[in-house]
Amino acid sequence: MKTTQAWCPSEMQILPGPRHRTHMKKPLWIIVLVSFIIVFLICAYMYPPQTSGACYIFSSRGCKVITDWLPPAPARELTDEEVSSHVVIREILNSPIIPSKTPKIAFMFLTPGSLPFEKLWDKFFNGHEDKFTVYVHASKEKPTHVSRHFLNRDIHSGQVVWGKITMVDAERRLLANALQEPDNHHFVLLSDSCVPLYSFDYIYKYLMHSNTSFVDCFKDPGPHGNGRYSEHMLPEVEEKHFRKGAQWFTMKRQHALIVLADNLYYSKFRDYCRPGLEGHNCIADEHYLPTFFNMIDPTGIANWSVTHVDWSERKWHPKSYRAEDITYELLQNITSIDVSVHVTSDQKMSRTFTSSASSLLEADFWGRQMLFAKDAILLMPKLIDVIINMMILLASLHHLLPSLTLAFYLSTAIILSTSIMTKPSRLATKLIHRNSYLHPLYDPNETVEDRSKREQASSIERFAFLESKIKELKSVGNEARSSLIPFNRGSGFLVNLSIGSPPVTQLVVVDTGSSLLWVQCLPCINCFQQSTSWFDPLKSASFKTLGCGFPGYNYINGYKCNGNQAEYKLRYLGGDSSQGILAKESLLFETLDEGKIKKTNLTFGCGHMNFKTNNDDTYNGVFGLGAYPHITMATQLGNKFSYCIGDINNPLYTHNHLVLGQGSYIEGDSTPLQIHFGHYYVTLQTISVGSKTLKIDPNAFKISSDGSGGVLIDSGMTYTKLANGGFELLYDEIVDLMKGLLERIPTQRKFEGLCFKGVVSRDLVGFPAVTFHFAGGADLVLESGSLFRQHGGDRFCLAILPSNSELLNLSVIGILAQQNYNVGFDLEQMKVFFRRIDCQLLDE
């Protein structure tokens, strides 16, 4: 029987059936994390972190690690202006510079006025005249130049305000003027405080052998760097390109050209980089050029400047050096600098090691020596108590210190050996002013008040002489019939000469207002006392009397023919007079270089009857330089003469001089010359005070058909007299400028004696210059020392007076207005030339 097995659970095999999977929890946190990272990276790519701290979230090496593996950002489409700008810049950079036989460096000085170290630069430039050019941008007042290298090198200048785009405008203006000279290959921007530390040869070779522009450029992520950036500069200027750097640069010609060609990037900084914009103080001259070159030619600049500036004090302006700071050790320390230090807003320093140029100058390495010894530098006088911003040119070129020439000429006490140039023979003789210690009447105890009274009184008297002569000539119509000639007592210049054979020394007054040379002669019917010997014609082998009717006789004052002997008779308003015979004689002049020049057969007056009412004057006669031909020394010695007038207030100033003949300094800006009544007239068109041109009637200074009016230039009058129509406007403008600044001292008459309490040298620093503008473009600039005269310890007055002449309306330009000028008269061209210069430079 078949047994049926029962089911037993323990034995039953359970086969796997279709498994039903339960819902498991997905790792959502992983998905979220990955998504977050992806989104974050996309955002980081599109909006890069603005601070370096954010980069370190990812890596201690900073943002560069991220950007290394991120795909490149899509290139921004350039604007039309950018495309045009890039094309022009690329063409300029790729164009070779036209070769020059004499490549030059353009030294461009950005200064408010005169250059305190101009004499230093003069020594630096001497002997290298074919290798440099000079350009001066003076933003506040026309500078007084003491070096011939700076004369007529002032460019048209505009106002410059620190921190504003006008500073960049001035730089571009300098570059524009310098680029007009095709031989200029390198362009150096300097301030009035810059001084050269190395020899000219070294600087020249270093720059000329370099294909790099030395433009300071670094990134400052702080508030005084990129914190000044404005998004208004977008899209052309992005913040990542924004850079900072010192203003002072040297630049090769291609780079100078692209700076001038740029308007696109310049306009961004003009409009959006200025103090106070959006709460930031963006300084255009610190950011424009560094950013510009970082964008268009970053490998073409050195990123450091060859001008040393010490910012270690962490102030708005670099460290200033006082006179006592300037030591031999300081200069050595500066020249040993081998790094360019950039200080960022967070006080962090980055250092750039300057590249070596020793291979360029090895031939010159051992041939150099210091221009002054250590002891010599300690002998310097008060070196410009003015603070020197010590931006010392090329101080970073340390590596050739053993070969460097320290061209730091700290004072004229440092004597340099210079090559002696052979100069043509020049009849130049010293002029002795009444205030000079060389004058026979010099009184060291004379007070400032006494001197000013003497000068003012003599100017008024001189003007009266001129007026009286012109009135008399207008009435008689003939110079020969007029016995009245102008002469100045108590002021003016003396000149030392010798007359006859053998020569006899004479001290005579130089006078452009009279034309005849005369001296006292023996035998004396009446002669006044003189400090030198009287001239005895009987003892002179070269003396010859003149017969009647000789050329020029009709110009002789008081001419008379006695038999066959020509005679003269001169009368002066004050009662002085001279009467005698006319003759020919030889003159011997002592020149500035202690040589002697002899001129023969010259017409002169030999005075046998002479009267002088004022014993305060020590002169033997008059040296006439007036305008009448044949008899004046101006035409007898070559139709040209020039005189240079320096500081007549300084008794120790000995460089005033007179040059006669073809060697005269006929240089500078010129204006047409007219001759009336034997005097030299010029056409004064208008007057300006600072940048303001006075609205003077165009006819105020014109000479009329009857001889009234006009402007006469004179050598014997100290003060200047102006026709009332011009004087009153000048007077009112000066009064307005002084309001609230200095106390005015009241006078009896409105337009006389404009005086103030104060000291000219102390209280008028920066006072606007008064400029006389003449026809032809010539200017005569009167700074405070020529415009005002100290009348006591605490009182000064305007050195320009009204003519107060209703009849003549005459104006006369006196010696004070001609200070610091060489004035050249060319009687062939009929022009007067004005050249601003320290007369000492013409002595050399």
Name all domains of the chain by residue range, CATH numbers in brackets.
85-403 (no CATH), 448-661 (2.40.70.10), 666-843 (2.40.70.10)
> Tell me: the pLDDT tens digits for 821-835?
999 999 999 999 999
Percent of the chain scoring above 70 in pLDDT? 75
β-strand partners of 506:
497
Predicted confidence (pLDDT) per residue in 682-710, tens digit: 999 999 999 899 999 999 999 988 888 99
The answer to whether 230 and 277 have CB atoms below 8 angstroms apart is yes
Least confident piece of the model among 78-92, 116-130, 354-368 = 354-368
Mean pLDDT over 299-321 rounds to 73
Q: Is residue 370 predicted with pLDDT exceeding 70?
A: no
* Residues paired with 643 in a beta bridge: 658, 823
The predicted model gives 169-182 an average pLDDT of: 96
By C-alpha distance, which of 748, 745, 645, 733 is closest to 694?
Answer: 733
pLDDT tens track for 418-476: 332 334 468 999 999 988 888 888 888 888 888 888 888 888 888 887 877 777 766 54
Q: In terms of pLDDT, which residue wins out, 585 or 472?
A: 585
Q: Are 199 and 227 in contact (CB under 8 A)?
A: no
How is 254-315 classified by DSSP, letter by letter?
Answer: HHHHHHHH--HHHHHHHHH-SEEETTEE--HHHHHHHHHHHHH-GGGEEES-SEE---TT-S
Strand 744-745 and strand 788-792: pairing? unpaired
* Residues 190/312, Cβ–Cβ less than 8 Å: no
pLDDT of residue 328 exceeding 90, the answer is no
Q: What is the mean pLDDT of residues 143-170?
A: 90
| Each residue's pLDDT tens digit, 666-687 | 999 999 999 988 899 999 999 9
pLDDT (0 to 100) of residue 412: 30
Please compute Rg for the chain using Cα positions.
39
Whether the predicted model's global pTM rises above the 0.85 cut = no
- 652 pLDDT tier (thresholds 50, 70, 90): confident
CA 131 to the chain's CA centroid: 20
Q: What is the pLDDT of residue 39?
A: 67
Per-residue pLDDT, 706: 81
Quote the pLDDT of residue 354.
45
Q: Each residue of 753-775: pLDDT tens digit?
A: 799 999 998 899 889 999 999 99
Convert the pLDDT of each residue in 179-219 to its tens digit.
999 999 999 999 988 888 888 998 998 898 888 899 999 99
Name which of 60-69, 344-353, 572-581, 643-652 the model is least confident about. Answer: 60-69
Rounded CA gap, 659 and 29, in Å? 100
For residue 211, what pLDDT is reported? Answer: 84
Beta bridge partners of 587: 499, 599
* Residue of higher predicted confidence among 6 and 110: 110
Distance CA 236, CA 263 (A): 12
Within 13 A of 701's CA, how many CA atoms are on the CB side? 25
User: CA-CA distance, 465 to 485, in Å (whole number)?
Assistant: 7
Q: Give me the pLDDT at residue 414, please.
A: 28
Q: For position 403, what pLDDT does the model report?
A: 33
Higher pLDDT, 264 or 456: 264
DSSP calls for 692-708: EEP---TTTTPBPTTS-
CB 171 within 8 A of CB 285: yes
- Where do runs of H (alpha helix) occur along 321-400? 328-335, 374-378
Average pLDDT rounded to a whole number, residues 740-748: 86
Beta bridge partners of 135: 108
Q: Which two tokens stand for residue 501?
A: 């054979």
List, in sequence order, every residue forming a beta bridge with 834; answer none if it has no partner. 669, 823
For residues 448 and 338, give the distance between their C-alpha atoms in angstroms, rounded to a whole number: 54
> Tokens for 116?
């305190």
Tell me, what's the pLDDT at 46? 57
User: What pLDDT is recorded for position 314?
Assistant: 58
pLDDT tens per residue across span 105-139: 999 999 999 999 999 999 999 999 999 999 999 99
- What does pLDDT average to over the chain? 79
389-425 pLDDT, tens digit per residue, is 333 444 334 333 333 333 333 333 222 323 323 344 6
Summarize pLDDT for 343-355 with one digit per residue, the tens: 676 655 454 444 4
pLDDT score, position 340:
65
Q: Torsion-angle region of residue 609: left (phi > 0), alpha (psi -120 to 50) or beta?
A: beta
- pLDDT tens per residue, range 278-306: 777 899 999 999 999 999 999 899 888 88
With a pLDDT cut of 90, the percent of the chain lying above it is 44
- Host H or E run for residue 641: strand 640-645
Average pLDDT over residues 263-273: 94
Q: For residue 2, what pLDDT is reported?
A: 39
CA-based nearest residue to 134, from 143, 628, 491: 143
